Amino acid sequence: MAEKAETTLKIENLLLRFYTYEGVVEALDGVNLEIRPGEILGLVGETGCGKSVTSLSVMQLVPNPGVIEGGKLLYNLNGQMVDLAKQKDDFLRRIRGDEISMVFQEPRVYLNPVYSVEYQIGEVLLQHRKNELIKNALEEVKTNHAKKLEAKIKKIEEKIEKLKVKGEKENKAKIEELRRKIEKLKGEHPQSFTIKIYEKMLRNPDARSIRILSRIPVVNRFRKWLKLAVRKEVVNILKGMQIADPERVIDMYPHELSGGMAQRVMIAMALVCNPTLLICDEPTTNLDVTVQAQILELIRALRERFKSSILYITHDLGVVAQLCERVTVMYAGNVVESADVNSLFREPLHPYTKALLESIPRPGHELRSIPGTVPSLISPPRGCRFHTRCQYAMPICENQKPSFIEVKKDHYVACHLYGGYSK
């Protein structure tokens, strides 16, 4: 694929293997994929073609015994292309949930059943936006402190007025004493020991400094304000997910949520830090069509709100046509075609893409299935992995893997029918 000036994520020749007792599973065999800023890219293919494991590779969450053996995972971090495959765990932990987030296929598997919605979303906030939350909590403390001082001053002023009514000369000493008290209170806010402690925590908000300062009782009060700041942010993000009565939902546990509600909570966890790249791994698979339509509309609206790039993984071409701008087709661990949605649906080039579109039920069209079965990736076919099921197969397809070439403007395909040969 041609190099783009602006790219959120670019995968180049990604090789991934699973070393099992049955043999080596060649899960990904030179995958090429590109996501541009602000777009929704659909990744489609049959079950077992490598869609989910591609997304897990980007997150560097491939389970054992999976090993990335080659290729690049180039992510645009502040204008610099960083190879995620070469980064250490500390760096990846900072990236996950902040720069790159993922919505998994089954929310009930990934939501912890013993923690509330508030705790699970709040944990992401505290991991990546702790300084911002501490600033918000500090502002709340300062505001609350100022209100209390104003209330104290007002009460003293009321006492002064009562003393004046009784006789200003007779109560001159008491009035002067109360006025000195007011002056002292007015100077307390900027000089407050409480505020100084909070500001020290703000300058160094790591866990160790808070533990040291926790010997001072004021820090325990600050924790209350920090918890309130987290709760406020969680409620706001749940409102953004179009969840009714978020103040009630925030205290619920996963088993109390419906399927659509649980999926919205998962999306909230993924978007709470405004990620640059959002990966959605078949988020509507187990939902009814009404809730599915709501989730798709929500994802589209959130893309407009957060300006995130989205990798949407699905096997439903109808969803791709409705939601995505571009689409990449995978088969048996290979990317076989990539184009904008209109071009791919209007004029598919790869025989596998054509077969997928022909297998969609449409009025007035004969329903055709793809002959054969998806090959085992422990011993995949040589050459083009689709040649055993392809009606256009040629002798070269059995021995030589086609390269991924640009056939038309921004329309790429890996097929010998179009002259693509591997080097």
* Residue 343's CATH number: 3.40.50.300
Please answer whether residues 229 and 140 qualify as being in contact, where contact means their C-beta atoms are separated by less than 8 angstroms. Answer: yes
* pLDDT value of residue 130: 77
**Is the pLDDT score of 40 beyond 90?**
yes
Would you place residue 208 in the very low, low, confident or very high pLDDT band (cuts 50, 70, 90)? low
* pLDDT value of residue 194: 57
Pick from 122-126, 204-208, 248-252: least confident: 204-208
Quick one: average pLDDT of 236-241? 86
In a domain, 255, yes or no: no
Are 231 and 343 members of one domain?
Answer: no
* pLDDT value of residue 1: 45
**Is the pLDDT score of 371 beyond 80?**
yes
In whole angstroms, give the CA distance from residue 322 to residue 278: 18
Quick one: average pLDDT of 337-362? 91
- The whole-angstrom distance between residue 275's C-alpha and the CA centroid of its chain comes to 6
Domain boundary among 239, 262, 296: 239
In whole angstroms, give the CA distance from residue 330 to residue 260: 28
- Residue ranges making up the domain that contains 44: 9-112+276-418
**Is the pLDDT score of 384 beyond 50?**
yes
Are 179 and 104 members of one domain?
Answer: no
* pLDDT value of residue 421: 44
Please answer whether residues 270 and 126 qualify as being in contact, where contact means their C-beta atoms are separated by less than 8 angstroms. Answer: no
Quick one: average pLDDT of 33-38? 92
**Is the pLDDT score of 145 beyond 80?**
no
Are 106 and 170 members of one domain?
Answer: no
Pick from 76-85, 139-148, 336-345, 394-403: least confident: 139-148
In a domain, 344, yes or no: yes
* pLDDT value of residue 423: 36
**Is the pLDDT score of 196 beyond 70?**
no
Are 180 and 231 members of one domain?
Answer: yes
Domain boundary among 215, 239, 263: 239
In a domain, 215, yes or no: yes
Identify the residue whose tokens are 């050459």.
Answer: 383
* pLDDT value of residue 267: 86
In a domain, 117, yes or no: no
Quick one: average pLDDT of 140-145? 74
| DSSP states of 127-171 | HHSHHHHHHHHHHHHHHHHHHHHHHHHHHHHHHHHHHHHHHTTTT
Quick one: average pLDDT of 318-339? 93
Q: What are phi and psi of 96, to 5 degrees?
A: -65, 130
| Mean pLDDT, the chain, integer | 84
**Is the pLDDT score of 422 beyond 50?**
no
**Is the pLDDT score of 407 beyond 50?**
yes
Would you place residue 229 in the very low, low, confident or very high pLDDT band (cuts 50, 70, 90)? confident
Quick one: average pLDDT of 38-62? 92
In a domain, 122, yes or no: no
User: Could you count the other beta carbons within 10 Å of the beta carbon of residue 16?
Assistant: 23
Phi-psi region of 78 (alpha: psi -120 to 50; beta: other; left: phi over 0): left
In a domain, 1, yes or no: no
In a domain, 266, yes or no: no
Quick one: average pLDDT of 105-126? 88
User: How many residues make up the chain in this entry?
Assistant: 423
Pick from 312-326, 360-374, 381-395: least confident: 360-374
Are 300 and 228 members of one domain?
Answer: no
Quick one: average pLDDT of 106-124? 89
Are 367 and 327 members of one domain?
Answer: yes
Are 203 and 85 members of one domain?
Answer: no
**Is the pLDDT score of 320 beyond 50?**
yes
Are 311 and 346 members of one domain?
Answer: yes
Pick from 38-42, 73-77, 107-111: least confident: 107-111
Pick from 51-55, 113-117, 191-195, 300-304: least confident: 191-195
* pLDDT value of residue 219: 54
**Is the pLDDT score of 378 beyond 80?**
yes
Read off the pTM: 0.80
Q: What does each C-alpha distance from 286 to 157, 241, 267, 391 come to in angstroms?
A: 65, 19, 15, 34
**Is the pLDDT score of 2 beyond 70?**
no
Are 357 and 412 members of one domain?
Answer: yes
Are 176 and 288 members of one domain?
Answer: no
User: Could you count the other beta carbons within 10 Å of the beta carbon of residue 35?
Assistant: 25
Are 137 and 218 members of one domain?
Answer: yes
Identify the residue whose tokens are 């304000």.
Answer: 225
Domain boundary among 239, 261, 291: 239
In whole angstroms, give the CA distance from residue 249 to residue 243: 8
Are 177 and 303 members of one domain?
Answer: no
Domain count, the chain: 2
Quick one: average pLDDT of 286-291? 76
**Is the pLDDT score of 352 beyond 80?**
yes
Relative to beta strand 40-44, strand 326-331 is: parallel
* pLDDT value of residue 193: 52
Please answer whether residues 71 and 13 qualify as being in contact, where contact means their C-beta atoms are separated by less than 8 angstroms. Answer: yes
In a domain, 253, yes or no: no
**Is the pLDDT score of 115 beyond 70?**
yes
